[in-house]
């Protein structure tokens, strides 16, 4: 007889021909050769019931020609007690997380054993975190669909339920092996000092530029050094106005002082230490030792209690791409500089590229991707006619 085997962990489907007198143990050996899933790690489900009795012939287990069997792989789990206890302690310290917990689980936070038992109970019921339908409702729907297994719509829905079951099992396995992955991590902050003013800097290697807020610039007496010729718009998650640029100011980290350039941006983050300064000063983000290394000094990342509460577990709105300065004054002639400004602080505004003649076929390629004509032209001008770069700019 012919059997269809569906692997729940990777959605692979096999069609095999076997004898109705074959033992269940022999079928598992055959599936081990076909799927590389060890015999002892196999769980075979027929009509949503686990097949047991390795010495039983397939026909005695109710299997018939063209039947569907689901093969589920049993994962080896580590001891989850320490992981669950770690998650429980993090939840106790974070009231924001507690609000999303089921009431029955929230009431067990002060009871380690009760917390573990409640988590296991919710997982068994398929209700942990309100992920997906309960097992009872899934079984009822499967029973209804299998009354007419030849219906294409029913077959499609059965495959959807199989995929949903695989997702549920994957989620439950992840919670048992690494429950800490369900808890948000804190962002990286360090203590710094600018012009004698102590502040907390958000370390973000994903931001190309180092950013200071106008409020902090005023507090550090640096507002008079903002070069407003470098005004513009920073594009990232949304857009923000660039007020200007502070070309150089000393920043103290531990007992060393390093020069730093800042883009002054109206943002909630007072100070963001970006990739430009991390690279310039060859910093090392050491997550194993929870510190930032700069030169031969190490400064520890701040603990949860020291992180600014207004930014606690909130996404940062820093630009992900380097802002392009937009000068508002005529460019200085070669060799000139503004009166009273030291030569070391002068940086010329970006030179605008000459006009580019864009072939209509390149514009049409971007329009075919779903973009408008004007924005396609602008992107091609910025990329100097390179269609791939223009498409990347538009998608970002």
Task: Please give the Cα distance from 361 to 367 (Å, whole number).
Answer: 10
Helix (H, G, I), strand (E, B) or coil at 388: helix
Check 204, 227, 286, 306 and give the catalytic one.
204
Phi and psi, residue 168, nearest 5°: -60, -45
Are the CB atoms for 5 and 16 separated by under 8 Å? yes
Residues paired with 245 in a beta bridge: 227, 263
Task: Please give the Cα distance from 236 to 104 (Å, whole number).
Answer: 41
Task: Please give the Cα distance from 158 to 165 (Å, whole number).
Answer: 11
Catalytic residue check, 204: yes
Are the CB atoms for 273 and 257 separated by under 8 Å? no
Handedness of CA 78, 80, 82, 87 (dihedral sign): positive
Are the CB atoms for 61 and 18 separated by under 8 Å? no
Q: What is the CA radius of gyration of the chain?
A: 31
Write the CA distances from 160 to 9, 123, 298, 360, integer angstroms: 14, 20, 52, 45
All residues at 6 or more sequence positions from 38 whose CB lies less than 8 Å from its CB, including other chains: 32
Task: Please give the Cα distance from 253 to 259 (Å, whole number).
Answer: 11
Q: Could you give the residue ranges of the DSSP H alpha helices within the chain? A: 24-35, 81-93, 95-98, 103-106, 112-124, 135-145, 152-177, 214-219, 275-280, 360-368, 373-382, 387-395
Q: Which residues are catalytic?
A: 204
């Amino acid at each position: 007889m012919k059997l269809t085997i569906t692997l729940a962990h990777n959605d692979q489907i096999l069609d095999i021909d076997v004898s109705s007198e074959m033992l269940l143990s022999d079928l598992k050996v055959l599936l081990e050769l076909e799927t590389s899933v060890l015999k002892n790690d196999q769980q075979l489900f027929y009509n949503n019931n686990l097949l047991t009795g390795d010495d039983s012939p397939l026909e005695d287990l109710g299997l018939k020609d063209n039947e569907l069997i689901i093969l589920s792989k049993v994962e080896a789990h580590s001891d989850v007690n320490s992981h669950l206890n770690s998650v429980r302690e993090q939840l106790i310290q974070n009231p924001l997380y507690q609000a999303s917990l089921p009431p029955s689980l929230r009431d067990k936070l002060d009871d380690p054993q009760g917390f573990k038992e409640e988590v296991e109970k919710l997982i068994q019921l398929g209700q942990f975190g309100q992920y997906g339908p309960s097992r009872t409702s899934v079984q009822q729907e499967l029973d209804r669909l299998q009354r007419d297994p030849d219906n294409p719509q029913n077959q499609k829905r059965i495959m959807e339920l199989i995929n949903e079951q695989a997702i549920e099992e994957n989620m439950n396995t992840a919670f048992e092996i690494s429950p800490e992955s369900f808890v948000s991590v804190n962002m990286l902050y360090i203590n710094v000092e600018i012009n004698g003013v102590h502040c907390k800097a958000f370390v973000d290697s994903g931001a190309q530029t180092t950013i200071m807020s106008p409020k902090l610039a005023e507090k550090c007496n640096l507002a008079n050094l903002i070069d407003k010729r470098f005004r513009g718009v920073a594009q990232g998650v949304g857009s923000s106005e660039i007020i200007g640029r502070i070309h150089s100011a000393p920043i103290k980290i531990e007992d060393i002082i390093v020069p730093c350039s800042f883009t002054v941006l109206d943002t909630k983050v007072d100070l963001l230490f970006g990739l430009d300064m991390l690279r310039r000063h060859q910093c090392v983000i050491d997550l194993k030792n929870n510190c930032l290394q700069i030169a031969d000094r190490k400064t520890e990342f701040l603990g949860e209690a020291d992180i600014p509460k207004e930014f606690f577990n909130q996404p940062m709105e820093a630009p992900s791409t380097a802002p392009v300065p937009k000068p508002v004054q005529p460019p200085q002639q070669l060799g000139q500089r503004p009166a009273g400004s030291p030569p070391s602080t002068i940086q010329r505004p970006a030179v605008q590229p000459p006009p580019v003649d864009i072939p209509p076929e390149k514009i049409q390629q971007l329009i075919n991707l779903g973009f408008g004509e004007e924005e396609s032209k602008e992107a091609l001008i910025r990329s100097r006619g390179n269609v791939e770069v223009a498409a990347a700019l538009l998608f970002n």
